[in-house]
Amino acid sequence: MLAAARSRLRRLTPEQAAAAVADGAVLIDIRPAAQRAAEGGIPAAVVIERNVLEWRLDPTSEARAPFATGDHVIPVIICSEGYTSSLAAAALHDLGLTGATDVIGGFHAWAAAGLPTAGLPTAPD
């Protein structure tokens, strides 16, 4: 299932994802609140947890996010390690958002690449 989902995507490295966001793509963090609290967040990301992603991005849904008003939206999905995000981006393709993709390696790779993060846990002294 994961391989089939990924075969439909043009996945991005963290650096490519940051460049895409700078060019107008929307970075969407689908991690649950507890995971974001434990790992940290991304200041540029819109938080839409995985369990509500489709109805918040479906351009025909009355409950869509304010920015999701047409098929011109380019969602770049990020999760913790880049697995759930691939499945989520493929689901968005099924809604007609064929520009949807995800970040290879997820938040862990984003942080390791030195890209902006916020609220990272600190090591105890």
Q: What is the pLDDT of residues 17-29, one digit of tens each?
A: 999 999 999 999 9
Which residues have C-beta within 8 Å of that of residue 112, sequence separation ≥ 6?
14, 105
Predicted confidence at residue 71, as pLDDT, reads 63
> Rounded distance, CA 103 to CA 11, Å?
6
Of 18, 44, 19, give the one whose Cα is nearest residue 117. 44
CATH class given for the domain over 2-112? alpha beta
| Mean pLDDT of the chain, nearest integer | 93
User: Quick check: helix, strand or coil at residue 47?
Assistant: strand
Domain borders along the chain are 2-112
Q: Write down the pTM of the prediction.
A: 0.92
> Rounded distance, CA 11 to CA 40, Å?
22
Which residues have C-beta within 8 Å of that of residue 7, sequence separation ≥ 6?
none
Taking only the tens place, the pLDDT of each residue in 85-114 is 999 999 999 998 999 999 999 999 999 999
